[in-house]
């Protein structure tokens, strides 16, 4: 069988890969997406109904322009898909008055002139009775925040890419690739051989397996999500309960109103700090996992502290500084890598797809500042 050639091959058709496929195909490039599992699937980082989007960004104000562009692209995808993908509930970033979450979120709102309110814990509880945060907690309410239907977003990107002529193969695993004497890249999989001039790697927790030099820069971590049955469900509906990012004594938590499946959804960042690999990760859940989440529910969201409804694992892939890695490889500019999204990347997938298409097509992106995501910031680390 003759080897088929493409302008670009995307390895990993999850959040970032599906978006990259769409933007490449939309520009008229011939593109192939290779996914080792199903599309969508529950093996990586994007299952579990939904993911938060928030415009205020305590991690660094530099993310906000990217988030604003991502929001516009999500709304564009929603219109193209003809289904609701973006749900605006408002978002709350809360924590101690002098803590990073509150001060950083507020700073990003001020710098980028985002609409927002500053609320203390008593005002938060009066406005949103599902919240019972400790005295001294301060929150930034950003009315433009909310959540994305994560699996449906991946499906929408893939369908849009297919409509623009992309080719997508599920259950096809990349084994290796090599540069030929003619300068093309030959990609070998469990199903065949393909050729291209550009490879975009959006393999999530599997990135380190494809690139050993990235293994210490994109480290998988076991994460657990829980859904708890509220005793007062009317307090946890999308119109009465904003999504949240909360720093408290037990750690940093994030959560959602009841939507899609029964239960108020909550997770703790770096759940049990379990570095792992996707091949050996413990995908079962147990009472310890539930206890970690229930400790916060019972204390800060007591009206949601009912029977557990669902517990699921997923994967974070963390970079050393928890900022993204989006760059070409130093010695292989024809290979573009997006990895290390550190548990806060999904909301940016739409714009990261646009950036990856720029890098694959032009070798650079002029429309977005991605300097903080460059690989050379880790020079010397091993």
254-263 per-position pLDDT tens digit: 999 999 999 9
> Which whole number is the average pLDDT over 303-324?
98
Residue 246 — φ and ψ, nearest 5°?
Answer: -130, 125
**Are the beta carbons of 68 and 45 closer than 8 angstroms?**
no
d(CA 3, CA 314): 36
pLDDT of 382 > 80? The answer is no
pLDDT confidence band for 296 (50 / 70 / 90): very high
Report yes or no on whether pTM surpasses 0.95. yes
d(CA 307, CA 114): 38
> Which whole number is the average pLDDT over 84-104?
98
pLDDT of 1 > 70? The answer is no
**Residue labelled with tokens 């005002």:** 123
Average pLDDT of the residues of the chain: 97
Q: Which domains does the chain have, with CATH numbers?
A: 4-46+151-213+322-378 (3.50.50.60), 91-143+219-318 (3.30.9.10)
DSSP 234-294: GGGSTTT--EEEEEETTEEEEEE-SBSBSSEEEEETTSS-EE--TTT------HHHHHHHH
* Res 181: pLDDT: 81
Give, to the nearest 10 degrees, the angle between helix 63-81 and helix 100-112: 80
pLDDT confidence band for 58 (50 / 70 / 90): very high
24-49 per-position pLDDT tens digit: 999 999 999 999 999 999 999 999 99
DSSP 176: E
């Amino acid at each position: 069988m003759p080897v088929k050639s493409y302008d670009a091959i995307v390895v990993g058709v999850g959040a970032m890969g599906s978006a990259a496929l769409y933007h490449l195909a939309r520009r008229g490039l011939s593109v192939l997406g290779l996914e080792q599992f199903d599309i969508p699937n529950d093996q990586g980082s994007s299952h579990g109904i939904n993911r938060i989007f928030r415009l205020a960004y305590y991690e660094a104000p530099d993310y906000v322009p990217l988030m604003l562009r991502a929001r516009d692209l999500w709304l564009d995808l929603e219109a193209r898909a003809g289904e609701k993908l973006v749900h605006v509930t408002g978002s709350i970033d809360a924590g101690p008055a002098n803590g990073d979450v509150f001060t950083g979120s507020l700073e990003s709102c001020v710098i980028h002139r985002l609409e927002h309110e500053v609320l203390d814990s008593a005002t938060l509880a009066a406005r949103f009775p599902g919240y019972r945060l400790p005295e001294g907690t301060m929150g930034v309410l950003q009315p433009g925040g909310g959540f994305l239907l994560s699996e449906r977003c991946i499906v929408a990107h893939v369908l849009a890419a297919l409509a623009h002529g992309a080719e997508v193969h599920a259950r096809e695993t990349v084994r290796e690739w090599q540069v030929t004497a003619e300068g093309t890249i030959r990609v070998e999989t469990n199903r065949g051989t393909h050729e291209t001039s550009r490879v975009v790697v959006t393999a999530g927790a599997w990135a380190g397996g494809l690139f050993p030099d990235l293994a210490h820069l994109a480290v998988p971590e076991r994460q657990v999500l829980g859904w708890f049955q509220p005793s007062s469900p009317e307090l946890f509906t999308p119109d009465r309960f904003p999504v949240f990012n909360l720093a408290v004594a037990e750690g940093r938590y994030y959560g959602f109103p009841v939507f899609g499946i029964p239960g108020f959804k909550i997770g703790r960042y770096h759940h049990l700090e379990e570095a792992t690999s996707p091949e050996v990760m413990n995908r079962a859940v147990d009472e310890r996992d539930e206890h970690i989440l229930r400790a916060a529910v019972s204390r800060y969201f007591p009206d949601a502290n009912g029977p557990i409804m669902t517990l699921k694992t997923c994967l974070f892939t963390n970079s050393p500084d928890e900022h993204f890695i989006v760059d070409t490889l130093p010695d292989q500019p024809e290979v573009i890598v997006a990895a290390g999204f550190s548990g806060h990347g999904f909301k940016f997938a739409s714009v990261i797809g646009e950036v990856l298409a720029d890098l694959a097509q032009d070798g650079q992106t002029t429309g977005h500042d991605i300097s903080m995501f460059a690989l050379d910031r880790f020079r010397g680390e091993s």
